[in-house]
Amino acid sequence: MVTRVTPDLSVQLGRLHLAYPTLMGSGCYGSGIEYAPFVDLARIGAVVLKSVTRQPRLGNPTPRLVHTPAGMLNAIGLQNPGIAWYLEHDVAKYADRPCAMVGSVAGFSIDDYAYVCERLAARAEIDAIELNISCPNVASEGETFACDPALTAKVVRAARATTDKTLIVKLSPNVTDIAAVAREAEAAGADALAVINTVRGMAIDVEAWRPRLGNVTGGLSGAAIRPIAVLAVYEVARAVRIPIVGQGGIETVTDALEFFLAGASAISIGTANFTDPRTPERIVAGLSEYLQRRNLTRIGAIVGRANRGFANRQEYEGDQG
Amino acid sequence: MPLLESTARVHATTVVDRRELAAGIIVLGFDAPELVAATRPGQYLMAIPPGGEVCATALGIYEAQGTRASILFFVTGKRTRALAELRPGDALTVMGPLGVGFDLSGGVRDVAIVAGGVGIASVLLPAQALLRAGARVQLYYGARNAALLVDAERFVTEGCELLAATDDGSRGHHGYVHEALARAPHAPDLILACGPTPMLRAVAKVAAERRVPAQLSLEETFACGVGGCWGCVVPIAATSAQAPSFPPAALGGSDVVNARVCTEGPVFWAHDLRW
């Protein structure tokens, strides 16, 4: 007999309860309100806001975007008004928020992260914090944190000490062993991990003989990086017990399912919003339909179900000789 | 109260008309009465690519009358090629109208509109509005050759005076369109321009020399098109009315701020640009 109850798509990330397992990726959804004319924000889980830093930043020189096969490169450079102005002018508009608002913190020193995290998390309008320790588009230090397990531990511990709100740590794929970084973030007190940030890349103008981005290098996003992201989630899921927000090139419900099955408890949608802002609604509808078809009552039932570890020696033996 | 006051919406429409004005230059007409009602001259839309390519495509709204809107574009890549393959009856989803268009207030009497190539797509609506208001409108229209001066006669029929320029001399001035503007015996009250960035820079220079205010509709690579990603910025004077509301400390000691072409623009006053 097939039951036709509406499946439970809600997800718990630390203390943060989301009605839907869909987050909108930081830097892709602005201040959260730019998409309000096109999307019912009450039908998404959370908006991860654009990263804010201690000091204001003008951002990178142009061009900041290049379209690439099945994706795009960006190098925005954390343009933002700085935490003081942000708290005074921007945060209040989230008082009547239709979905959860996750503040994103970026910085250049451990003290920066703690300073901004403490002030942002203190605001009632902000439901959780994401630590962006993996922005590939700012000079050196930005991504250094997520590329070094010991530095990751330090910065997470410092931010953890400032708030009890859910702390999501966004990891970089531009590392040799993402699981090692993930373990340190968990041990230092992260409530959840965002896996992954963009993949470093570049494009060159062959007529002008120069890089096409003003910043020279950028972060690659879109379908082009999806298999990289699926593997990263799979590896991290084997290394930690805290929930994972899977992200990287998710465009369809099938893409989203790959991430849940790899071990993500929630997903984040970024670049696909640039193609069609109705993508999150479609994915939520598709997840519901998928769970009903398989007679499952909640999204949690599929998390990590394809995660069988890695092929061992015995599994290879059949191919020997 | 909505979070953001905007007339822009997602419009699921149907293509009703397709014209190929020249090799690779397509006009797609579609029924979208709410879009038409909300559109102001110089605004654009994001066309959701039917071929599944990443990112929607920003295109000027060419015509907007009654229930019918249209886009005019040159086939340059995969996304515009997918749009060009659409036929009457096919579905087309667009988001719009977007951006801040031309400022036609102030009772201008004598306007020069400068269009380069498919920049023509963004200047029909302002031309019509100005003509309705009784202004004299001269259209300086440049392209590589006469065949690519698409819909030039349409503008003449509307009431514009046409001053053509072609790279190969096949019609009008043999050379760049801004050269024709620079040679005009009488300076207009206002210049509006849309076209490739080098043309816009040249028009800005002519406008400054002739002391005529100019509004330029810029082209930049977009990702979101709605102000969310900050990818399409252009440096403008911090004192500009279009400067995003950033604190003075954000200016890094300079008087310049990065404004989003998609949201604060795409039309900027030439004297505000610091590019």
ipTM above 0.85 for this complex: yes
Sequence-distant (≥ 6) Cβ neighbours of residue A219 within 8 angstroms: A73, A74, A75, A135, A136, A137, A197, A198, A199, A200, A201
Name which of A47, A68, A79 to mutate to probe chain B: the one with the most chain B Cβ atoms within 10 A of its Cβ: A79
Q: Which two tokens stand for residue A237?
A: 């899921």
Cβ pair B230:A29 closer than 8 A = no
CA of B151, closest CA in chain A: separation in Å? Answer: 30
**Phi and psi of A233, rounded to 5°?**
-60, -45
Q: Is A28 a catalytic residue?
A: no
Question: Which stretch of A13-22, A246-255, A266-275, B45-54 has the lowest confidence by average pLDDT?
Answer: B45-54
Contact B247 A63 (CB under 8 A): no
Candidates B10, B49, B257; nearest CB to A278: B10
Q: Which of A28, A99, A117, A135 is catalytic?
A: A135
- Nearest Cα of chain A lies from the Cα of B48 at a distance, in angstroms, of 6
DSSP 8-state class, residue A300? G
Reference A269, options A10, A18, A20, A24; nearest CA is A24
Contact: A28, B224; criterion CB under 8 Å = yes
pLDDT at B213: 97
Over residues A10-32, mean pLDDT: 96
Cβ-proximal residues to A209 (8 Å cutoff; 6+ apart), any chain: none
Question: For chains A and B, what is the number of CB pairs under 8 angstroms?
Answer: 132
How many percent of chain A have pLDDT more than 90?
88
Q: Do A85 and B249 touch (CB under 8 A)?
A: yes
pLDDT tens-digit map of A172-219: 999 999 999 999 999 999 999 999 999 999 999 999 999 999 999 999
Chain A residues within 8 A of B247 when measuring between CB atoms: 56, 81-82, 84-85
Interior/surface letters B30-65, b for 16+ CB within 10 angstroms, e for the rest: bbbeebbebbbbbbbbbbbbbeebbbbbbbbbbbbe
- For residue A5, pLDDT over 60 is answered with yes
Residue A18 · residue A46 · CB < 8 Å? yes
C-alpha span between A294 and B125 (Å, rounded): 53
- The CATH H-level (homologous superfamily) assignment of domain A11-317 is Aldolase class I (3.20.20.70)
Average pLDDT, chain B: 94
Q: Which residues pair with A293 in a beta bridge?
A: none
A-chain residues near B258 (CB < 8 A) = 58-59, 79
Q: Which two tokens stand for residue A255?
A: 């893409």
Task: Please tell me which of the candidates B53, B221, B249 has its beta carbon nearest to residue A66.
Answer: B221
Contacts of B224 in chain A (CB under 8 A): 28, 30, 34, 273-274
Q: Averaged over B110-114, what is the pLDDT?
A: 98
pLDDT in tens, B21-70: 999 999 999 999 999 999 999 999 999 988 888 899 999 999 999 999 99
CB < 8 Å to A63, chain B: 220-221
Q: What beta strand segments (E) does A248-302 contain?
A: 266-269
- Angle at the Cα of B7 (from B229 to B260), degrees rounded to 5? 25
Nearest to A215 by CA among A207, A228, A203, A206: A203
Closest-CA distance of chain A to residue B125, Å: 24
Give the domains, in start order, of chain B with CATH numbers: 9-98 (2.40.30.10), 110-217 (3.40.50.80), 220-266 (no CATH)
Checking if the pLDDT of A32 tops 90, the result is no
Q: How far apart are alpha carbons A43 and A20 in whole angstroms?
A: 7
Contact flag A30-B6 (C-beta cutoff 8 Å): no
* Rounded (10°) CA dihedral B75, B81, B85, B87: -50
pLDDT digits (tens, 9 = 90+) for B178-217: 999 999 999 999 999 999 999 999 999 999 999 999 999 9
Question: In this structure, what DSSP letter does residue B220 have?
Answer: -
Cα pseudo-dihedral B148, B153, B159, B162, rounded to 10: 50
A211-237 b/e (C-beta count within 10 Å ≥ 16 → b) = bbbebeebbbbbbbbbeebbbbbbbbb
The pLDDT confidence band at residue A235, using thresholds 50, 70 and 90, is very high
Chain B residue with minimum CA distance to A273: B224
Supply the DSSP string of B69-108, one letter for each residue. EEEEEE--SHHHHHHHT--TT-EEEEEEEESB-----S--
Q: Which residue has the higher pLDDT, A3 or B232?
A: B232
Q: Which of A31, A34, A279 is most worth mutating to test chain B (most B CB atoms within 10 A of its CB)?
A: A34
Instruction: For chain B, give the percent of residues with pLDDT over 90.
Output: 85
Q: How far apart are CA B96 and CA B209, in angstroms?
A: 36
Which residues in chain A touch residue B246, judged by CB atoms under 8 angstroms apart? Answer: 56, 81, 85
**Within 13 Å and on the Cβ side, how many CA atoms surround B225?**
31
- Mean pLDDT for chain A overall: 94
Task: Please name the residue ranges forming H helices in A220-275.
Answer: 226-239, 253-262, 272-275
Domain positions in chain A: 11-317
Angle, vertex CA B164, rays to CA B163 and CA B169, nearest 5: 140
B21: helix, coil or strand?
Answer: strand
